[in-house]
Structure 1
Amino acid sequence: MTFFTRLLAKAAKGADDLSYLYENDIVYPVHGLDDTKTFRDILLTWTIYFNDTLDVDKLQKSLTKLLSIGDWKKVGGRLRLKEDGGLEIHVPWVFTADRPAFSFTHANKHQAIEDHPAAKTLPKPNRKVAMWTPPKDFNDLAARQDAPATMEDLLVGDTPQMAVHVTSFTNATIIGLTWPHTLMDAMGLKALLHAWSLVLAGRESEVPALLGAKEDVLSTIAESSVDKQEASCMLPKELKGLNKLAFMARVAWELMTTPLSETRALCLPKTAMDSLRQQVHQDLASSSGESEKDVFVSDADVFTAWLIRMISTTSPTPRPMTLLQSINARFRLHELVNAQGVYVQNMVAVGFTLYSPDVTTGPMGAIALATRQQLAAQATELQVIGNLEAQRVAGDPMAALCSDPKALPVITSNWAKGKFFHITDFGPAVLQAGDASESRSNPPGTPFFQHTFCLKPPPVMMRHVISVIGKDHADNYWANLVLPSLVWANIEKSLGELEKPE
């Protein structure tokens, strides 16, 4: 936390200090990989569009019930600033109307979603490519107008760290969830949405225990693995001294001198993804003779390779690129894979894929293969443990940067393993189906569209950001992208080629 922020928080505490009223609150720690400068700057808002009318009262009561179970209470807490400048979470013993588990607001529009100026623009894929640019007033559908948008907002008074805003239409419902990144990552949200669905269905006994609320399991794993830790395979590529300074200066200069990027949601139907995958495997077969059975590349590898090509072709001259990608420890460390419960916190290591100019301007197959091979080398258990421990010691996930000093950085997160279109099932809250047509692909009470953004973007917003949400019930592939207009022009041209009849 900066000196200014600390002063602001202390001033707010002095003006409206409620701690003495709630001295019996349950106090939970904010772990080392949660309380970082990067995450303090980010409040996330996740919007879920249901093509059904949902019972708002059931939604509110079921989430309150969930956050009253065991250590799920931690999610319903309030952030407090400690004397040493660190964060901790204070939770009421019992949630009440005066001290709820989350801020809750509801707006009933009394109209069909197609009649609302902003909501009618939401994408409606029909086995075709769909792109959506959020309108300026979309925020009103995702959060109340005075919703907390910064960490400073959450440190004032007795503000719950999570806010829920529901917008009802006669044939649809939009739910907006806002929380600080210091609380959890996307897989933590997955656990929350699944548990919420269970409680809504009256299956409280099946709600998994929330683990690690008080003890930092990642620190424990790192300490128990001291004798086995190995040096990072990316250590020779870590930027230090003048090289790091040059990289940061170049990024800062480009941020100041280039136009702001455009945020859009992109939906690729299965046919488009199949075409891209076919191209990748044709490239690999041509260059190395390896068949599809010989080389595994994921949907994310294919999608990222395509976007790297779209980005590289906008550069006047070929240049190296560095992909900063998330590696989730939940899927990499055996103690977490076999855990008898869920972890609602941040468990992401940062991985790096370095592409030479020849690769970025070459065939997609080479890009996808480089992504897969470099990620695999960094995703072993010992590499991930070392990566997380280095982040904890440094106090920030972005402290270490591995890159060519002249590279263009691209940030990506892949949330496909969260299965967000399938894990959320609010069927028991459906009052009326909003879409009763035979062409409907998603079961009642499941998401039709999802979108994530920040009510107040971080101070430094990168120009190239890829966030993969995953597949919906019709096998459409969804992503949120932040890219320059020239890249979007390339994407539109490429999509036109993909949709041409054979």
Structure 2
Amino acid sequence: MGVFTSKPARPAQVPTDTIIPLHSKDDTASLRPFVLDFALCFDDVLDPEKLRSSFERLMEIGDWRKLGARLRLNDSGKLEYHIPASFDAQRPAFRYSHMKYETSISEHPLASKLPKPTSRPAVLNSTDEFQSLLRRKDGPTKLHDYLNSDDGQLSLHIVSFSDATLITLTWPHTLLDGMGRRALYDAWICVLNGREADVLPLQGFSTDPLATLGTQPTEPYALEKYQIKGFAFFIFAVRYAYELIWYPKEEMRIICLPAAHLNTMRSTALSELSACAPDTDTDTTPFLSDGDVISAWLARLALSPTLPQTSQRTVLLMNAFGLRGVLANDLLPPHKAYIANASNSVHALLPAREILTRPLSYTASQVRRSIAQQGTRAQIEALAAIERETYASCGRSPVFGDSSMKLIVVSNWTKTKLFELDFSAAVVRVGVPLEGRRHGVGRPRYVHSCPYSNGVPIRNAFSGFRKGCGGKLLDEWDVEGRDLEKD
């Protein structure tokens, strides 16, 4: 007994469910492996029932019921949504769980370790250290957990302390991206505040707004000649696989980059660019965003332990680029909420030696240049056309660079402004006195993300965001998979 096992039977199809395919940027090989836990930590006691009921009510409003869809795999191997006609106790819109502790958060052995601001740049806790705290025990961690159950894609887990509250949402990455997450929170908060009329209509319920993206490019993609194809891609894949075998260990850590340190780096970088600017170019003032500087800093941080300063290897510094802004005039109008994935990447190709030896201002300026060059509507169309062709012929995303390239990925969540989320309508008791805090009542003091990648390497991948509080900045970046065995 116990020698033979069988796969769990998938739920039977419910005749009354609405069946629709996933959008083109949702059902991709790069997103399928990922499930995310995303937690907000409040220094206030929030009413869990009010949070649960308002979230439930949101999914009863018009097309927002799509968020309660069940994930299924059809006979063609494509993902599709099965949306219940209505939700009830047997088939709720989402899974809900709640833990309550009659102690303060500082007295809890694990919650007390949640990261706090530091005065110097610091590598802090492992992101998965808090898994047992931030999710239910049987919570989903992979796509098959959704395919083999009749659960919705969203899980809501609330942890209550005598002076604090943790709210975690869990979902598969096929559901939404960073800005989609913000749109979801905004709609939830509208319902929480009794403003259902302010909930934006859902964009793209049964049709894909991005279905035509890339079908009519008007210019070539800026890095088209650097696309790795054929035997060159085979060599790139072999080299990448060798590194994974030789250095298999990955850890996800949290980096705190204090505002004072970041401001100094940015000021220094701008001064260096101004000093290097031609005297005749008096009308152009150098510009770098915080994200440009942080990308450059992270690239050097990732490469320093692994490559010599004289390395000739090409580095692809890839920044995630949200499409909602550039497509706002037609495909993704801002008066509708797009709860899905709408992003691609902008690429900066640099020799490793330049990242390691030249000032941060140089690398940051190259990141800024890549965004300006590749972030136009025409370039978005051009890259989308290459993506279409590569997926059709190879079943994967296109890769740019050369066969010896090293990849660094950065995802900047600053625009989501998650520290500005206002859950004060659910506050029943203030946990930390107002004079002792740098954030408002009902606003998160810490945001935590933990991805489950299911075997997909995520080394040298960074995601993070900026927190503004009381005129100061706290930059917290999740370091996903740095190559710690070489550190």
- Say whether the fold is shared (TM-score over 0.5): yes
Q: Say which SS state the counterpart of residue 210 (structure 2) adopts.
A: helix
- Say which is worse superposed, 187-196 or 242-251, in terms of deviation: 242-251
CA contact (8 A) 1:354 1:404 kept: no
Q: 1:157 aligns to what?
A: 149
1:320-469 matched pairs, under 5 angstroms: 320-333=314-327, 334-336=329-331, 338-361=333-356, 362-395=358-391, 399-422=397-420, 424-454=421-451, 456-469=452-465
Q: 2:94 aligns to what?
A: 102
1:102 and 1:305, CA in 2 relative to 1: closer, same or farther beyond 3 A?
same
Higher-helix-fraction structure: 1
TM-align CA RMSD: 2.3
C-alpha separation in 1, matches of 2:485 and 2:247: 11
1:193 and 1:374, CA in 2 relative to 1: closer, same or farther beyond 3 A?
same
C-alpha separation in 1, matches of 2:130 and 2:102: 17
Q: Say which SS state the counterpart of residue 232 (structure 2) adopts.
A: helix
Could you tell me which amino acid in structure 1 is paired with residue 428 of structure 2?
A: L
Deviation at 1:411, TM superposition (A): 1.1
Instruction: Give the aligned length.
Output: 471
Q: Say which SS state the counterpart of residue 66 (structure 2) adopts.
A: helix
Correspondence 1:263 to 2:262: no
Could you tell me which amino acid in structure 1 is paired with residue 199 of structure 2?
A: V
1:126 and 1:291, CA in 2 relative to 1: closer, same or farther beyond 3 A?
farther
Q: Say which SS state the counterpart of residue 211 (structure 2) adopts.
A: helix
Q: 1:307 aligns to what?
A: 298
TM-score using structure 1 length: 0.88
Correspondence 1:481 to 2:479: yes
Q: 1:74 aligns to what?
A: 66
C-alpha separation in 2, matches of 1:129 and 1:203: 41
1:389 and 1:346, CA in 2 relative to 1: closer, same or farther beyond 3 A?
farther
Could you tell me which amino acid in structure 1 is paired with residue 337 of structure 2?
A: V
Correspondence 1:236 to 2:225: yes
Deviation at 1:58, TM superposition (A): 0.4
Q: 1:280 aligns to what?
A: 269
C-alpha separation in 1, matches of 2:283 and 2:163: 44
Q: Say which SS state the counterpart of residue 136 (structure 2) adopts.
A: coil
CA contact (8 A) 2:274 2:286 kept: no
Deviation at 1:446, TM superposition (A): 1.0
Q: 2:12 aligns to what?
A: 18
C-alpha separation in 2, matches of 1:161 and 1:409: 31
C-alpha separation in 2, matches of 1:62 and 1:191: 15
CA contact (8 A) 1:51 1:172 kept: yes
Q: 2:27 aligns to what?
A: 35
C-alpha separation in 1, matches of 2:341 and 2:478: 20
CA contact (8 A) 2:253 2:478 kept: yes
Deviation at 1:121, TM superposition (A): 0.7
Deviation at 1:199, TM superposition (A): 0.7
Deviation at 1:145, TM superposition (A): 0.9
Deviation at 1:375, TM superposition (A): 2.2
Q: Which runs of 5+ in 1 are unaligned?
A: 1-7, 490-502
What percentage of residue pairs aligned between the two structures are identical?
32
Q: 2:205 aligns to what?
A: 213
C-alpha separation in 2, matches of 1:283 and 1:230: 34
1:158 and 1:411, CA in 2 relative to 1: closer, same or farther beyond 3 A?
same
